[in-house]
Amino acid sequence: MKIIFAINAGSSSLKISVYSAEDRNATPREIANAQVVGLTSPSTKLTYTRGNENIYKNHQVTAESQDDAFSILLDTLLGDEKLDEVRSKSDIAITCHRIVHGGKYESAQIITKDTYHHIEALSDLAPLHNGAALGIVESCIRKLPDTTNIACFDTQFHMSLPPHVYTYPINQERARKNGLRKYGFHGLSYSFITRSVAKFLQKDVSQLNIIALHLGSGASACAIKGGKSWDTSMGLTPLSGLPGATRSGSVDPSDVGKLSPASTEKLHISKAEQILNKESGLSALTGTADFAAIAGADRAEHPQHALAFDLFVDRVSAFIGSYYVSLEGKVDALVFAGGIGEKSSRFRSAVVSSTACLGFAISDASNDSISTKGSVTQDISSEDSRSKVLVCQTDEQIEMACMCHSKDELWN
């Protein structure tokens, strides 16, 4: 039996799921889940569940970084005397880490000195994402010396993108030399969604065509053709495509502060990245990163909230239209996932009405009764919908745990 910690550093949250795996053929069984959410908003909250028992729910904590959150979660898990399977640090056999940028890695990697340095070098392409995750890897190496660390990459699922999609129309020699191409992210989530939706629709994965939306603090869309990534909205870094809670999404870089050559000297490129990644997006329009507050606000009283909501509906709908065409109209389902996709019925309803010309239609009653305690995939389409409209409670942690625990090297 092995204990697996699957650690998911998102941009506004840190989630750890704990699994036990009997042997390498058994599916890992979740025994606990601990998460700190709201890292980009003033109130940061801890939720901890052991088995079916809620120990903490939205318990206020102070954490300013992913690494602070990691210390809180590790103390919570190791300090729980009733978590029988994890008596001490040395019981944790495997920690899987969600690493957003994996460059051209095509599979999860055991983290050695070499792989660590390789991933560190890739951080130039996702400085604000890989940095936080690597900080946690370092903490694990220091605090959990008996554990095998494994890197699982968001980019892996998108290795199937065709050349005409992943190529940027720029100097090809420079592109090759510097690894400039569309990589795509949220791949662990899309991989989970693909498997879950295929199972739900009782279709072979290789026959599944869907438009999936992972709408969390970072948001992206993905066209999945024959079970594989065919196009996705994020690019070289997780900045392009859709806006996020604090991210601008695609903007013309010359618009950013209209920099003169002189001001460029002062405003180092990393400052621009800082602004576009952390100080933009829906919170720059509204002053809040909490999408529930944006979607729930009175439109007349809060015109900026209404603008942010409408803008997000517009950008998401544009990708749905584009992917509907690139999938030649053969779409089994439109799938909503991520914090916003799973929890905001108002947003789902607005997106479905704005893409109604493609034949999507939902039942308001089903849309309003989505339960986070219900099945992984829930159907909200109405009978007259041309494709299914589904809500999938995505789970990047189980995707990582399954990916890692079957590795031969861990059981020999």
Ligand X SMILES: Nc1ncnc2c1ncn2[C@@H]1O[C@H](COP(=O)(O)OP(=O)(O)O)[C@@H](O)[C@H]1O
Q: Which residues make up each annotated binding site for substrate?
A: 98
User: Which residue lies nearer to ligand UVW by CB, 38 or 216?
Assistant: 216
From 54-62, 171-179, 340-348, 372-380, give the range in contact with ligand X by CB under 6 A. Answer: 340-348
Q: Does 48 bind ligand X (CB under 6 A)?
A: no
Alpha-carbon distance of 123 to 306, in angstroms, equals 36
Site string for ligand UVW, 197-216 (x = CB under 6 A): -------------------x
Interaction between residue 277 and ligand X (CB under 6 A): no
Q: Which does 339 bind (CB under 5 to 8 A by kind): Mg ion, ligand UVW, ligand X, none?
A: ligand X
Using CB under 6 A, pick the residue from 218, 235, 241, 281 that binds ligand UVW: 218
Q: Does 216 bind Mg ion (CB under 5 A)?
A: yes
340 contacts ligand X (rule: CB under 6 A): yes
Q: Give binding residues for Mg(2+) as ranges.
A: 8, 396
Q: In this complex, which beta carbon is closest to ligand X, that of residue 166 or of residue 192?
A: 192
100 binds, among ligand UVW, Mg ion, ligand X, none (CB under 5 to 8 A by kind): ligand UVW
Beta bridge partners of 59: 46
Nearest approach in angstroms of CB 219 to ligand UVW is 7
Q: For tokens 């069984």, what's the residue?
A: 29
Is residue 185 involved in binding ligand UVW (CB under 6 A)?
yes
By CB under 6 A, the residues from 73 to 132 that bind ligand UVW are 100
Q: Provide the b/e sequence for 17-29 (b: ≥16 CB within 10 Å).
A: bbbbbeeeeeebe
By CB under 6 A, the count of residues binding ligand UVW is 10
Name the minimum Å distance from CB 20 to ligand UVW: 26
Long-range contact set of residues 199-204: C-beta below 8 Å, sequence gap at least 24:
199/377, 200/376, 200/377, 200/379, 200/390, 201/332, 201/333, 201/388, 203/332
In single-letter form, the type of residue at position 185 comes to F
Q: How many residues bind ligand X (CB under 6 A)?
A: 18
DSSP state of 157: G
- Please tell me whether residue 186 binds ligand UVW under the rule CB under 6 A: yes
Binding positions are: 8, 15, 98, 214-218, 396
Strand order, beta sheet including 53-61: 53-61, 44-50, 29-37, 13-21, 2-9, 92-99, 148-153, 109-110
Please state, as a whole number, how many other Cβ atoms lie within 10 Å of the Cβ of residue 400: 31
To ligand UVW, the closest distance from the beta carbon of 158 in angstroms equals 11
With a CB cutoff of 8 Å and minimum separation 6, the contacts of 194 are: 205, 208, 210, 212, 224, 227
Rounded Cα distance, 203 and 209, in Å: 10
d(CA 285, CA 175): 34
Cα 75 from Cα 379, distance rounded (Å): 38
Does 30 sit near ligand X (CB under 6 A)? no
Phi, psi of 58 (to 5 degrees): 50, 45
Contact between 99 and 151 under an 8 Å Cβ cutoff? The reply is yes
Residues classed as catalytic: 154
Cross-sheet strand order for the sheet of 377-379: 228-232, 219-225, 210-215, 333-337, 388-392, 377-379
Can residue 238 be called a binding residue for ligand UVW (CB under 6 A)? yes
List C-alpha distances in Å: 43 to 54, 59, 295.
Answer: 20, 10, 19
Q: How far is the CB of 286 from ligand UVW (least distance, A)?
A: 18
Residue 343 interaction partner, one of ligand X, Mg ion, ligand UVW, none, beta carbon < 5-8 Å per kind: ligand X
Residues annotated in a binding site for ATP: 15, 214-218
Between residues 11 and 20, which has the closer beta carbon with respect to ligand UVW? 11
Binding residues for ligand X, per CB under 6 A? 10-13, 216-218, 245, 289-292, 295, 338-340, 343-344
Binding residues for Mg ion, per CB under 5 A? 10, 216
Binding residues for ligand UVW, per CB under 6 A? 10-11, 100, 154, 185-186, 216-218, 238
